[in-house]
Amino acid sequence: MGVSKQALSFLCLLLADRHRVVAIEEPGYADARIVFSHHGYEVVPIPLAEEGLSIEALEKSEATVVYTTPAHQFPYGMVMPVGQRQQLLQWAKRKNGIIIENDYDGEFRYNVHPTPSLQGMDRDGCVVYIGNFSKAFSPALRLDYTVLPRQLLGRYLESFQAYPSPVSRHLQRSMQLFMQKGYWEKHVRKMRTVYHRKHDALLRAIQTTCPGKYAYWDSQQGYIFYSRWTLPVQRRSWSSWRVWQMFGCIRAAITGPMIRRMHARE
Q: Report residue 254's pLDDT band, with 50, 70 and 90 as the boundaries.
A: very low
CA distance 203 to 220: 11
> How many other CB atoms sit within 10 Å of the CB of residue 71?
24
CA torsion 7→8→14→19, rounded to 10°? 170
Strands 98-102 and 65-68: parallel
Q: Name the segment(s) of the chain with CATH classification 3.40.640.10.
A: 3-180
3-state secondary structure of 179: helix
165-179, 209-223, 242-256: segment of lowest average pLDDT: 242-256
pLDDT at residue number 166: 78
What is the average pLDDT value for the chain, to the nearest integer? 80
Strands 42-49 and 21-26: parallel
CATH class for the domain made up of 3-180:
alpha beta
Please state the pTM of the whole predicted model: 0.80
pLDDT at residue number 215: 61
Is pLDDT at 259 greater than 60 in this prediction? no
Considering only residues 83 and 250, tell me which one the structure prediction assigns the higher pLDDT: 83
* Mean of pLDDT values over 43-53: 90
CA distance 86 to 89: 5
* Residue 109 DSSP one-character state: B
Contact 212, 167 (CB under 8 A): no
Is pLDDT at 56 greater than 70 in this prediction? yes
3-state secondary structure of 251: coil
- Burial (CB < 10 A; 0-12, 13-18, 19+), residue 110, is middle
CA distance 183 to 85: 31
